[in-house]
Each structure stands twice: as C-alpha cells, then as structure tokens.
Structure 1
Amino acid sequence: MFQRYIVIAFRNLRRQRMFSFINIAGLAISMTVCLIALMSTRKNLSYDNFHPAIARTWRVTTQVVTPDGRKFHMASTPLTLGEALRTGYSAIEKEVTVYGVLSGEAKIGKKKISVRGAFTEPSFFNVFGFKLAAGNPQTALTAPNSIILTAETAARFFGTNEAVGKMIQFDNFGSFLVTGVLETPPSLTHINYEAFASISSVPALEQIKVLPEKLHDWNIIQSSYTYVVLRRGEGQSALVAALADLGHHYDDLPGKGQGSLAFEPQALSKITPSKDLYDDNGSGPPWGKVLAEVGVAFGILLCACFNYTNLSIVRSLQRAKEVGVRKVNGAQRWQVFMQFITESVIMCLLSLILAVVLLVLTQTYHLFGLPIPDDNLLNPTLLAWFLLFSLLTGIFAGIIPAWALSSFQPAKVLKSMVDIKLFGGLGLRKTLIVIQFTLSLTAIIFLVTVYRQFSFKAEKDMGFQRKDILNVPLADVDYQRMKDMLLQVKGVETITATSGTLGVPRHCSFCAMKTANSKNMEFGYYAGDVDFLKVMNLKLVAGSGFPASASTEKEQYLIVNEKAVSVMGIKSPADAIGSTLWLSDSVPVNIIGVVQDFNYQPIEANIRPMAIRFKPSEFHQLQLAVAKGNEEQLIANVKRVWLELHPGETFTSEWMDAQLLSHSGQDTVSMLGFLVFMTTVIAALGLLGIVAYTTFTRRKEIGIRKVLGAEVSSLMMLLSKNYLWLIIIAGCIAMPLGFIGSLLFLQIFAYRVSIGIFTLLGSFAVLLLVAMITILSQTWRAAGADPVNSLRSE
C-alpha cells in the first residue's frame, strides 16, 4: 500500500509541474536557511562538553559599578583570587587561573608568527579535559619559561618536525622552551588560546616591567580568569558564600567614591552560549544570537509551510473528483489522508535534496553573505538530523491539507466543487496573508534602516584622516629607522608610528589615571609618535604635539581630548596645559596638548576621555600618508624597503579606509537583505495561492458578469480590491512595528540616522508593488477568460 502511495505521489508531481516547482523551490530555500541554523545551533551547543567534572566546574566573574554609575559584568577577576579560593575554602577541590596576556610576535630563526597565548598553572590539566599529544601534563607547565602549543600552532612553527624541546622567542616576553603539544580537543571550547605558558614565568616578567604588577593586586581585574571545581556534595551556595567573603576586600570602595565590585559564579556549561560579558576570553556566540538565528530560520520555514497549505488547497480543487472517486470505490478517510501526507513528505524530501545542494554551493562559494559552519555535510549524524527535520516539516506542512481533502464528501465533489468551502471560508488564509505581509514589511523597514545606518557609519567623518593612509607592520625593527627609510619612497609624504588604527575597537587600549585632586579616571588611549597629529589630521585646540626631544625610555607627556578636560573639571583646554596626571598611581605625566574631540572608537560609542601617549614600546605599525597616484607601484616600493629590514618574512599592508570599512557591517546588510528577500517572496507565493483559489471559485460569477457586459478592467478591480485591503491592513500594522524595531536597533549607536517618513512609505510602496504584480497576474487571467468555458455546464 505504501508503495502505491509513493507511485501516485510522483505521478501527481509530474502532472502539476508548476505547482511542484513553486512548492519545492519555496520549501528548499527556506529549508536551506533552517539547515544553516540547525548546523550553527549544533555547533554552538557543542562547546566545552569534554571536561571531566563539567557539572562542578565554575568560572568566577566580576560585577563592577563605576563611580559614575555605569555597570559592567566582567568575565575576568583579580589574579590573586584563584590562590585565595584554593587555600582558604574547603569547598574548592581544584582551581586554575588563566592569564591571557601572552600575545605578540614569536619567532624561530627568521620565521615570525603572531601568537595569542595565556599563562596558566599545572592544574590546568586537572580542571579541564585537554590532553597532550606530546609532553608530560604533570610537569609541562611547572618550570618558568616553559610553554605548550596547540597542534595547529606547533605545525605552523615546526611543520612535521618534533616541537618538544625547541625554543620560541617572543619579542616582549623572552625565550620559552616548548614542553608539550596539545591534542585537538574533541569539541569546541571557549578557551581557544594558541599557546599556554607557565604562570611561574610571571614574577620575573613583572620585575622587569614587561607585565604590570598584578600577582598581589586585588584592584586590577582585566585579562585574568579564575576557574574552580567544587568538591562532590558541595553546591553553588558554597561558592557564592566564599566569593561574598572575598568581596570584603572592596568594602571601602563606595566610601571613597570609587564605585563597587563583587564576584559572581558562572557555570562552565553556561559560558557558551552565554550573555555578553566584558573582557571575555571566550569566542562563542551569546544566547541572543543563537535564538535569533533559530527564530528567523523557523519563522521563514513557517511562512513556507503556510504557503504549501494554501497552494495545496488550490490544487485540491483540481483533485477533488479524484478523492470522490477513490471514496466511492471504498477508500477510507485515513487512506486518503495518508496519501496526501505521503505526497507532502516526498515533496519535503525533494526540497531537502535541493536545499543540501544550495547549502553546498553556499558553503563553497560563500553566497549571499550567509555564515556557514565548516561542518562535513556527509556526516551521518548531521544527515540524520536533516532527514528527521525534513520528515517533521513534511508532516507539519501536509497535515492541514490532508485533513481537509480527506474530509470531502463524494456526492458533493462529484456534483460540483464550486460550492465546496474549506476551513469555513477564506478567513484563516486571509489572516495568514496579513501576518506574512506584516512580517515582510516590518523586515523591509528594518533592512532599510540597517542599510542607511551602516552606510552612515562607513561614510561618517570621524574627525581624523582615513583616506590615503597605508598601514604597514612595524614588527621588531626600530620605528625611527624604518620611518627614515620609507620616507625616501616616492609618493610617501608623512609617516607616524602608532599602536593601532583609530576607529578599530580592538586597537584601543585603556588605562587608569589619577588627577592632582585624587580623582580616578579611565582613559582610552593610542600610542603615537611626534607625527601622529599631523598624519591623522587631528586639530589642536591648546598646547602642542610631542616634542622631538621626548624621551623614548620614560613617559613624560600626554595629549588629551576636550572630553578629558571636561571630566577632569578644568574650565578650558588652555588651563589643562601643564597639568599632571598619574599613570597607575605612580608615573607622573604632563598634559602637553589638547585635541578637538573625535570618534576614536566606532560610532556605537559616545566620545569619552582619551589620551595619546608617546610610548614607543607599544608601537606596532607605521601609518604612511601617501599622495594619490599609482597605488600598486607605491606598495611595491614600500614592500621592497620593508623586506630589506625584514629579510625572509612576509610583507603585509592594508589601507586604513578599507580596514575601517571592514568593520562597517556590510556582511550583516547582505545577510539581512537575503532573508528579507526570501520572506517577501514567500509572502508573495502565499498571496498567489489565495488569489488563484478565489478566482477559481468565482469563475462562474466572472463568466456571468462578462456576459452581462462587464469590462476586464472592472472585473480586475472587483477581484483585486479585497486583497489590496489586506495589504493596506498589513501596512498599518507593520509600519509602527518596523518603526519601533528600527528605533530599538538604532539605540545601539551613539550617532545614528533618523528613520523618517520616506523610509516607512517607500518600504510600503515596494511591498505594495510586489503584491499588485502578484494579484494582477491572476486576476488578469481570470477576467480575460472566455465565459463560455465556465458556463457551458449550466
């Protein structure tokens, strides 16, 4: 019997090619997005599932309230916290600290590679489930200046050669002996450093001032992360009590006007996905992103299933007599029901095949800007999930049409289908059309707003020069020597050495400063040399830039922005010149200049106090202001000079404007555009189904009206006006929703566009045009049909 269902299903698919194509294509496109969401969700939920005592393992986080009332939930903790927990509280069985500051250029011979690493303890292998492919986990992190590498990093440095026993030289941290190579973990992990060095190396690095003195400082919480394993039988409350006790270190902060600080546990299993934390060492997505992906994907699939229902009902009018004949011949209702469910499932399986093909093409060629996980699509487990998903979709999409079609009474359908009413008329399907077009218009308004905002972000004058600036890595060459050589290149006008690119969030550093009246302030800062203001075209409102005689050994001068002067309580920029600030409570520096406020961070953030520091130890790149002209030749000449100073290394450069544009969100716009296009097409298909159904059921009425002299135009208006009202109703609902959604999105940005009436009306006009084309394509055919064909049986 089941075989017969399949044969009949394929026979009907061949007969109704257009219907089959529309349904399979619509389902396939929506299923593609759902499969991407399924793969992404599967990946996001697979973090850190290989650790031995995951249910008892916690990361400690920090709740910080600044003196001005701002709240920050930090993933990091003081470096001293781990030892205090381990030695002072019996509920703690194991503890490990991860100090994520071992980052920079590392080299072997002439090979130099950027490494992101951390310092940690031998207990790292007791708390976590990481294993060594080479080396002894008991001793690998015991001796100072020992380091273990991930398998990928070891291959980058040593290829197929043995890594253990070799030396690696860091530019800032000295030499380290490779004592182990990590196995690739069995699943993803938020602890994704490329190297782990022994934390016993830190005291010596603090002593020579390579690292700040944090080992015994409870007041610095950045970059260090504390993990604990509770003893069996101990619950979260024991850890909360211990953290509350240690929080007494900060009882005096509110009285000093320095805000407040408290510790809070976070389960290891809840780190990824998780809520966003500041200074996080994880790389996984937050729950908001995961739920948004799933919601959008299944919303699109739900719309496609509604369309399948509508189009199946239209098609049912042509298959009603088939149902009647089968019932007259003895078919039971459940058999007819199973026939249509089988057809729905087969259509979804065909859609799945097409969706997988689209997925492979998207994964291979990066179509539509969609983020595709790098999973093997032939993975049996993944294919099983895809198959189950397809079966459930087929049953869900087909159950309503199957129930309706199997309920036909043979006497009625064999006599006439015109009077058959499905689901009590058109109310349900009209409601679905309004919902679909409301979602589509809301999405279009949101997309237009996002596009305008990101275009504004890409083009906004941020207050500094960004055009015709070429960024070149400094590496370990003296910045002044490289500047002098590159200034000889034709087309290079001026050069500055900097710590990073203005406007790129990860390049901005932060430091604590204290004023003469003991007021603590947090400054964002960039390091720059004497030509920084000139190259970046920053405007001095008082004082001067760094003098050529500034010491490269001891920091003496500081340039601040107008906002910093205001926050310090100084009346004017001129009055700020000569004022002293203390770095880390001990290093005095004098304000030598004040620059006009500019957006040193992206436009999401308001302008806050910032400083430009003359600190050569933090110079990482040169920024070349060049004349317009032959860019390829200029880069070739710069490369030639750079290779003279870095023989055997790989030259890289980047235009500053292109670097900033890469952070402007164009990928987000592309993906949103694709999803909005899909939502609109699916809504149009749903409208097409209901219009086709209505024109079919009213064909006798249309024939009579034509015989009585009705014009084609008046018939088209008669058939179309109800649907145009549906679109207008959808517009009245969607425009306020789109406005509110866009307004909420724009709150992310300190500097933003206005939404405007033209955004709302223009988006509605586009949707109305799509709807009219869909409606008129059916009403024109119905109004122009020969009335003889519809009235010949009367």
Structure 2
Amino acid sequence: MLQNYLKIAIRNLWKHKLFSFINVFGLASGLTVCLLAIAHIKGTFDYDNFHPNRARIYRILTDVVYKDNNRVAFATSPMPLGIALKRDYDFVEATSRIVRTYGEFSGNHKRFSDILSFAVDPDFFTIFNYQLAEGRPATEPGTAVVTRKTAERFFGTANPVGQVVEQEGIGPLTITGVLADTPANSHLKFDLLFSLATSGKTMLPGVFQDWKQYQNGYTYVLLKPGIAADQLRNVLPALTKRATDKLSFRQEKSYSLRVQALTQLSPSREELMHSTYEKQVGGLLVEMGVGLITLLMAAFNYINLTLARSLSRAREVGIRKVAGAVRWQVVGQFMAESVVLSLLALGLSVLMLELVKPMAFVQQWLIGGVTWDWPLWTAFVLFSIVAGLLAGVVPARVLSGFEPAQVLRSQTGLRIIRGLSLRKSLIVIQFTISMICMISLLTMTRQQQYMATGDYGFRRERVLTLPLNDVPPQRLANELNRLAGVERVAATSELFGSFGDTQMIKRQRSGQDSSMAFSWSINDQFVPTMGLTLLAGQNVPVATADTSGRLVLINEEAVKAFRLGSPQQAVGQSLWLNDSTEVSIAGVLKDFRFTTFAWSIKPLVLRSQPSQFRYLTVSVAAGSEDAVLADVKRIWKQLAPYEPFMGWWYDDFLRQRHSHAEDIEFMGLLIALAFSIACLGLLGMVTYNTQTRVKEVGVRKVMGAEVRQIVWLLSRDFVKLLLIAATIAMPLGYLAGYAFLINFAYHVAIGAETLGLCVGVLLVLGVLTIGIRTYRAALANPADSLRAE
C-alpha cells in the first residue's frame, strides 16, 4: 500500500509541475533556515565534549541574596574556594581557578588590546584537555601558552616558544607552548593562558584570600572516579558557613554555593552574571522560531494550493470512496504526497545550505565548530518528514471528508470570518509576516548606517590613524609633520568611536559623590586635529612626561555630573581620579559623541599621559590623501621595517565598526526567502484562479471586454489582500522596529520613508506577480476556451 501511495504521489507532483515547484522551493527555503538552527542547537550540546573527564568536571556557582532580598546567580565564586576544596576533601582530584585579565599585551615590538587572556592554576591543564601543538603547559610562575593565531600575530612564522610577552600590571611572561586548535566549541574562549601564580601579588591584591570577593574568577573541580556530584554538593553549605561566619558584607545579606556539571553547562538554562561563552536557551529558541516561521509560510503555500485544487481532488476522493477506500486511506494518500514533497525539498535545502555556509555570519554565529555527523543528518531527515506530515494534515483532513454524492456540486469554500476564506487569510498572513520583517530590517540597516556615517561632533574626514605598537610617537610625529599635505599630527590612547577606558572620579577625595567617567590620554595637538570646540579655559599643555598630566579637559556632561557650575566656573577646579590623583581642570569642551550611539553622552576626562599613547591621528589637507598615504607608508617602512602597515582612515574605522554588513546580509537573505515564498504562493493562487475562470474570460472578451478590464477583474481580489496585509503589517512593523531602536540613545526615526518604501516594495512585487499572470490570461484567444461549448 505504501508503495502505491508513493507512486501516485510522484505522478500527481509531476502532473502539476508549477505547483510542485512552488511547494518544493518554499519548503526548501524554510527547511534551510530550520536546518541552520538545528545545526546550531546541536552544536551547543556538543560544547566541551572533547574533554575525556567531562563527566567528572563541575563549576561552582554563587547564589547571592542582597539586602533587598533580590537573588542573583553568578558563574563566578570566591577565589579561596578551590584551594580549600583540594586541601580538605579527599574526593577532589584537582581544582583550578580561572581569572579573566584585562590590559594591553606587548611583545616583539607589537601591542594588542584585544587579546583574550585568563590566569589559571596548574591543574587547569589536568582538568581540561586543551592539547598543545608544541611546547609544555604554563604551570610555573611567569609562563604562558598562546593559541596558534595569537602566536602568528606577535611573532609571524617564527617559533614563539621562549619568546616574551607582557601585560600591563602583570609583568613579563615567557611562552612555553602553543595550543592546538580545539576540535569543537568550548564555553571557554581565550587567546592566551598564563600561570595564576604570576598575578597573585600584582593583580587584584588580596582577592585570592578574600571570601567576600566572589566576582573575580571561576572555580572548576575534577572529582575522583566513582564520586557522585552529591558528595561535593553536600559539603558546600558547611564550607561556606565556616568561611563566611564572621564576615560582614556591605550590600549582600548572604551567599551560597552550588554545583553545575560541565555536561549541563551549554546551552545555559539560566541567566548567570559573568557567564562565559555558552549559548543561552532563549537565543536558540528565537533562532528556531525564525526558521519555523519561514517554514510555516511555505506550509501555507502547500495548504493554499492543495485546497485551491479541491474541486478536482474532490472528484478523485469520490472515486476512491466509491471504489471502497475508507477515510484513513485517503488521508494516507495526501500525507504521502506531502512527505514526498518535503523530502524533495530536503534535497534542495541541502544544496541551499552549501551556498549559505561560507557566509561570514553563518560561520561565526551559527555553524562554526559544528560536527556534521550522522545524528545531525538523521535529525535533518526526521525534521523534514515531520514538517511534511504537519503541512499535509489540514489538506488531508479537509479533502478526505468529501462525500461522494456531493462531489459534483461541492463548492464548500472554507470560511473563517464573514466570508474571508482560509486560503485568502493565509496569503494575508504570509505577506504580513514578510513586510514586518522588511520594516524591521530596513530600520536596523538605517540605524547602522546612521552610526557608521553620522555626525559624532569630531572630525572624521581626511584623518589617518596609525597604531604605534613600539614605534616612538615623537619620532614618527616629527617625520609626518615634514610631509606636504599634513595639517597636524596628534597622539591618543584610544580612538573615538570605541568604548574607551573608565575611571571613578570625585570632587573631594574623601567625598561620597563619586561618578564614573571615560578617560582618554591625548597630547596638545589632539583638540585642533579632531576639530573639537573649547568652550572655556585652555588646551592641555605640551607634555613630555606623565607628571605634567595634572591639567585635564572635561566635557559639558562632566561639568553637569560633578556640579561644577558653568563651563567658565569649572575651569581651575579640582577632581580626584581613582581616589589617588588630583587633577585641575584646564578647559571645558563642547559635548560630542566619543563612544557608541547606544549610550548617551557621558562625562569625559582628557589628560596628557605620553606613556599611554597608542595611536597617532594625522589630519590631511583636501586633495592630498593619496600622496600623504603613500608617504606615510614609506616612513613607516623605514621606522618599522618588520611591521605591517596597519593605518586606516578614521571614516573607514567608524564605518567598519558600526555597519555590521555580514549580519544585514544574512537577514536580507531571510527576508528575500520570505518574500519569494509569499510571491510564489500568490503566483500559484493567481494561476489556479485564472485557470478556473478561463471560460468566463472567453465569454467576456466575446462580449467586448478590454484586456485592462479583464486584468483588473482577475487581480482585484488579490490586490485587496495585499492592501490588507500592508494595513496590518505597518503598525506591527513599526513596533518591531521601535523595539530595536530603544536600545540606542541616538537613533533614526521610523517615518513615512521607511513604511512607504516597504509598502511600495510589497505592492510592486505583488502586483508584478499578479499582473504578469493575469495579463497572459487576458490575452488568450477566446476561441480556444469556448470551442468545446
């Protein structure tokens, strides 16, 4: 019987090629998005599966109860915990503390501020199975291991073992090994690991013996074979009570410790403060939801087209029932057709998957590190079969319910509300979803374009930025100042448009009015180079050493935050930086946007500290850009012959930082698929509608109707559906776009240009789809359709 179902299903699909293509392409598009989500979800369950002892590894979490009874869970734990567990309990085989460190790394005359580094105990390399491609682990003080990529950034193709790198505040680190590439994803991501003993005296002094400090690092425990997690879980309350019994907390009422198995760490089922790099269940559900919505739109096409052909299929059902078929057999026939369609769509979706795999967004966020093994492919096949069965449920139940005696006069026309048919409702839903997605994407694109090209309040055109690494800033500045076309050369610690550094600032050293402010180090040429406006006071003076950085510039927001009166009144007043450094305000700058557009303008302090300079910014005269760039490269080659030239224009830096082209490209692909599915479904409906009215069209033409009148007759109902979809989608799309924009302090508006463009695209695509098909039907020769009458 199953063989008979499949044979008839294939014949029916081949007989109606257009409808079959529409259904297969639509289902394949939806399946492609779902398969990406399934692969990503499967990958999150594979996190850390390359550790042979993963079933015995646990992370200790901290549940904190604050004095307002608010409970917060932290992925971190007190630093003395690991030592206490290993010392006092014989069922613990090994423990390791992992502390995230921050600061710029330097080595081989290069500096990098984006190195992801952790300080770890020696047992880290016993607990976890991070293999070394060469060398030995960093178990001794002053040693480190790096990833292969990081080694190449610092030392190129030279052997990094034995080389020295240094992090601010930590000291020199000798590289003892190079980490091999991990075979799968891990919740821990790092570029460099160094011995925790290195930082015990210099980094976070006192933290490693303080049970009150629970936010600075992670504690991992490896239990001995055969030991249950409950044994570790049972000792934590008593251990916590002994350690914290005589401690007094400022904000916390108490905290407790609990055990989290490494095998249960990803995907994360709860929100943890200071979490690592495991995926969140909520994000995975959103991804799967997007895929299911796309697949649902394709299923709408199948339901629409199958029900549209209900009259011809009803005769088939009647004949089958007269011949003795019962309802479940008829249902089986239609379900078989749906499954065959879904399996054909699976084959096409695999090809589409191969096309989108190389996309940067897909590799970085979805399938990077995923193992494409037989369980994953089995899940793909099962998912496609289930999708086919679900898509076929409604048509199968409806069509199998026809009574043979009523088949010839059956015009059942399924109704939902006040004459609005199910098929028309599904078309409206499809285009409504597509338009909501389009409004959201256009809003995101406009916001990112606004951030990439907007007015930050400082000069961004014709400004060249040069990372210094170990090139002497003053020597390079002297060479650049001699070039024709160079207007000014300034030095800075960070680039505006990045997040920058923050400090706690007070008006009085012993006062309680502390506030967070952003801090940059600049020289005396920076303000005129970047086109900043000085409202009061004077610029920072020429400085050759950090001791001259007692005079600072602040912005208007800092004047308000520290209640300094007017800009003129603020000049000459004092501030305290980090409770240790007193500075005097030399001048006040007009507010400008120096960080991301997600934040409103914050207090800013600019001071002259030559030791902190990491970039030179060069303002260039109009028309001299190419010549200056060539000369700068030549000078760079002379001063740093072994360093690649890393300079770029400020405008390009801001564009690259905020454009997120890969994300927009992938989202655009999803929306293109959604509109393709909707338009193909509309094409199928229009095609079937014109086929069923071919004799009516012939009679009207014989009676003198014009082509334009017939086109409007055939298409007006569908145009009304598009207008209904647009009417529903506009307010919903506005809300979706606004939900994205509220995350930014400065953002674009969702106005008539956004909504109008989306409605225009919707109508153009829909009208073209409808018009082309109805125009062809209106041009048909009435003699061909009426000769059988």
Q: What is the TM-score of this pair, normalised by structure 1?
A: 0.83
- Specify whether residues 364 and 733 from structure 1 end up closer, same or farther in structure 2 by C-alpha distance, changes over 3 A only: closer
Show CA shifts across 1:403-454 (max 9, x none): 44455556665xx487465689972222222222222232233233223322
Evaluate the alpha carbon distance shift between residue 717 and residue 361 of structure 1 in structure 2; reply closer, same or farther with a 3 A threshold.
Answer: closer
What is the alpha-carbon root mean square deviation over aligned residues?
4.5
| Partner of residue 193, structure 1 | 190
What amino acid sits opposite 2:219 in the alignment? Y
Pair 565,486 (structure 1): closer, same or farther in 2 beyond 3 Å:
same
* 1:366 CA displacement: 5.8
1:674 aligns with 2:672: no
Candidates 512, 519, 522, aligned match of 2:504: 512
Does residue 725 of structure 2 align to residue 730 of structure 1? yes
**Equivalence for 2:646:** 652
1:779 deviates by 4.4
Q: 1:305: Cα distance to partner?
A: 1.2
Does residue 521 (structure 1) correspond to residue 523 (structure 2)? The answer is: no
What is the CA deviation profile of residues 155-213 of structure 1, one whole-angstrom value per residue up to 9, with x for unaligned ones?
Answer: 7778999876x242337554433445545445312321122111211255x3xxxx565
SS at match of 2:466: strand
| Candidates 174, 177, 195, aligned match of 1:177 | 174
1:763 aligns with 2:788: no
Cα distance in 1 between the residues matched to 2:513 and 2:271: 30
Q: Deviations over 1:209-235 (max 9, x none)?
A: xx5656479799899323354963455
Aligned-residue offset at 1:373: 2.6
Please tell me whether the aligned partners of residues 720 and 775 of structure 1 are also in contact (alpha carbons under 8 angstroms).
yes
Residue 15 of structure 1 aligns to which amino acid in structure 2? K
Which residue in the other structure is 2:743 paired with? 748
Matches of 1:524 and 1:111, distance apart in 2: 22
Partner Cα separation in structure 1 for residue 519 and residue 213 of structure 2: 19
SS in 2 for 1:523: strand
Partner amino acid for 1:626?
Answer: V
Q: Give the AA of the match of 2:631.
A: N
Q: Aligned partners of 2:83, 2:604: CA distance in 1, in Å?
A: 35
Give the Cα–Cα distance (whole angstroms) in 2 for the partners of residues 39 and 656 of structure 1.
39
Instruction: Please point out which of 330, 339, 344 is paired with 1:345.
Output: 339
- Secondary structure of the corresponding residue to residue 601 of structure 1: coil
Distance, in Å, in 1 between the alignment partners of 2:664 and 2:315 is 49
Post-superposition shift, 1:145?
0.3
**2:483 paired residue among 476, 483, 489:** 489
Are 1:683 and 2:678 an aligned pair? yes
- Tell me the equivalent position of 1:146: 143
* Cα deviation, residue 475, structure 1: 0.8
Tell me the amino acid that sits aligned with residue 667 of structure 2: L
Shift of 1:76: 8.3
How far does residue 474 in structure 1 lie from its aligned partner after superposition?
0.7
Q: C-alpha offsets along residues 495-547 of structure 1, whole Å, 9 cap, x if unaligned?
A: 22222211123xx1111122214421111122222222122221111222221
In structure 1, stretches of 5+ residues that fail to align are 255-259
Letter in 2 for 1:343: E
Q: Distance in 1 between matches of 2:623 and 2:212?
A: 49
Q: Which residue of 2 aligns with 1:503?
A: 497
User: In the alignment, which residue of structure 1 is the partner of 2:435?
Assistant: 441
1:651-674 Cα distance to aligned partner (Å, 9 max, x none): 222221111111224424333333
Between the aligned partners of 2:344 and 2:16, the Cα distance in structure 1 is 15
**1:226 maps to amino acid:** Y
Where 1:664 maps in the other structure, the secondary structure is helix
Q: Which residue of 1 aligns with 2:381?
A: 387
- Residues 138-169 of structure 1, C-alpha deviation per residue, up to 9 Å, x if partnerless? xx5543202233455567778999876x2423
Give, in angstroms, the shift of residue 308 of structure 1: 1.8
Q: Which piece of structure 1 moves more, 743-752 or 307-316? A: 307-316
CA shift for structure 1 position 302: 0.7
Contact preservation (8 Å) 1:369, 1:671: no
Question: Could you say what secondary structure the match of 1:662 adopts?
Answer: helix
* Cα pair 2:22 2:681 within 8 Å, conserved: no
Taking the aligned partners of 1:89 and 1:594, their CA distance within structure 2 comes to 58
Match of 2:288 in 1: 294
What is the aligned counterpart of 1:232 among 230, 236, 239? Answer: 230
Structure 2 SS opposite 1:663 = helix
2:723 maps to a residue whose letter is I
- Comparing 331-340 with 186-195, greater Cα deviation is found at 331-340
Contact 1:63 1:264 survives alignment (8 Å): no
Query: In the alignment, what sits opposite 2:226?
Result: none
Name the CA distance, whole Å, in 2 between partners of 1:247 and 1:709. Answer: 98
What does 1:2-81 correspond to in 2, within 5 Å? 2-49=2-49, 50=51, 52=54, 56-60=58-62
Query: Secondary structure of the equivalent of 1:143?
Result: coil
Maintained 8 Å contact 1:44/1:273: no
2:118 aligned partner, one-letter code:
A
CA distance in 2, matches of 1:79, 1:636: 54
Describe the shift of the 1:583–1:54 C-alpha distance in structure 2 as closer, same or farther (beyond 3 A): farther
Q: Distance in 1 between matches of 2:141 and 2:690?
A: 82
Asked if 2 retains the 8 angstrom alpha-carbon contact of 1:105 and 1:475, the reply is no
Q: Partners of 1:135 and 1:529 in 2: how far apart?
A: 43
1:602 partner SS: coil
Paired residues for 1:213-228 under 5 Å: 213=205, 215=207, 224-228=216-220
- For 1:75-126, what per-residue CA distance to the aligned partner results, in whole angstroms no more than 9, with x for missing partners? 7869856579769998996754323226544546999997432222224346
Deviation digits for residues 250-287 of structure 1 (CA, Å, limit 9, x no counterpart): 74469xxxxx9989979564575577878x57445554
- How far has the Cα of 1:43 moved from its partner? 2.8
- For the Cα contact (< 8 Å) 2:184–2:371, is it kept in 1? no
When the two structures are aligned, how many residues end up with a matched partner? 771
The whole-number CA distance in structure 1 between the counterparts of 2:80 and 2:599 is 31
| Rounded Cα–Cα distance in structure 2 between residues aligned with 1:502 and 1:203 | 34
For structure 1, which segment, 390-399 or 92-101, has the greater mean C-alpha deviation from structure 2 after superposition?
92-101
Give the Cα–Cα distance (whole angstroms) in 1 for the partners of residues 592 and 432 of structure 2. Answer: 41
**What residue number does 1:661 align with?**
655
Q: Where in structure 2 are the equivalents of 1:707-722 lying within 5 Å?
A: 713-714=708-709, 716-722=711-717
Q: 1:518 to 1:720 in 2, by over 3 A?
A: same
DSSP-derived class of the 1:147 partner: strand
SS in 2 for 1:232: helix
Q: Which residue of 1 aligns with 2:118?
A: 118
d(CA) in 2 for partners of 1:558 and 1:25? 64
Alpha carbons of structure 1 residues 602 and 571: separation in structure 2 relative to 1, 3 Å: same
Determine the C-alpha separation between the residues in 2 that align with 1:101 and 1:426.
63
Conserved? CA contact 1:78–1:218, under 8 Å: no
Query: Which residue is equivalent to 1:257?
Result: none
Shifted more, 508-517 versus 72-81: the winner is 72-81
- Pair 1:616–1:747, CA change in 2 (3 A): same
Shift, 1:395, TM fit: 2.2
Instruction: For 1:538-687, list aligned pairs within 5 A.
Output: 538-549=532-543, 551-552=545-546, 555-629=549-623, 631-667=625-661, 668-687=663-682
Compare 494-503 and 320-329 and name the one that shifted more: 320-329
Q: Give TM-score scaled by structure 2 length.
A: 0.83
Provide the rounded CA distance (Å) in 1 between the counterparts of 2:539 and 2:326. 91
How far apart are 1:38 and its partner, in Å? 2.4
Of residues 767, 771, 776 in structure 2, which corresponds to 1:772?
A: 767
- The one-letter amino acid of 2:649's match is W
Gaps of 5+ in 2: 224-228
| Correspondent of 1:430 among 420, 424, 431 | 424
Structure-2 change in CA distance of 1:283 and 1:473 (3 Å): farther
Q: How far apart, CA to CA, are the structure 2 residues paired with 1:618 and 1:223?
A: 28
- CA 1:470 to 1:586, structure 2 compared with 1: closer, same or farther past 3 Å? same
* Contact 1:147–1:195 (CA under 8 A) maintained in structure 2: yes
331-340 or 754-763, which moves further after superposition?
A: 331-340
The percent of aligned pairs where both chains have the same amino acid is 34
Equivalent AA in structure 2 for residue 510 of structure 1: T
